[in-house]
A = this chain, B = another copy of it.
Amino acid sequence: MSGTDGADLARFSINQMTVKQLSLPELADACGASGVTHVGLWREPVQAYGVEATARLMRDAGLTVTTLCRGGFLTAIDADARAAALADNRRAVDEAAALGTDTVVMVSGGLPAGSRDLRGARERIADALAALGPYAEAHGVRLAIEALHPMYASDRCVVSTLAQALDLAERFPACQVGVTVDAYHIWWDDTAPEQIARAGAGGRIHSFQLGDWTTPLPEGVLNGRGQIGDGAIDMREWLGHVTAAGYTGPIEVELFNERLWARDGREVLAETAARFLDHVLR
Contact = CB atoms under 8 A, between A and B. Distances in A.
Contacts of A164: 190
A108 to B, nearest CB: 13
Contacts of A219: 216-219
A158 B158 CA distance: 22
Interface string A98-119: 0000000000000100011111
Main SS of the interface on chain A? loop
A155 B155 CA distance: 23
Interface residues of A, number: 36
A244 interface: no
A118 B193 CA distance: 13
Interface string A189-228: 1110000000000000000000001011111110000000
A14 B66 CA distance: 52
A10 interface: no
Contacts of A213: 153-154
Q: Which 8 pairs between the two chains have the least Cβ-Cβ distance?
A: A153-B188, A154-B232, A150-B188, A151-B151, A116-B234, A216-B220, A219-B219, A160-B188
Given A116-B233, A150-B151, 19 more contacts: A116-B232, A116-B234, A117-B234, A118-B187, A119-B190, A122-B190, A149-B150, A151-B221, A153-B232, A154-B215, A154-B231, A154-B232, A158-B188, A163-B191, A164-B190, A217-B221, A218-B219, A219-B219, A221-B221
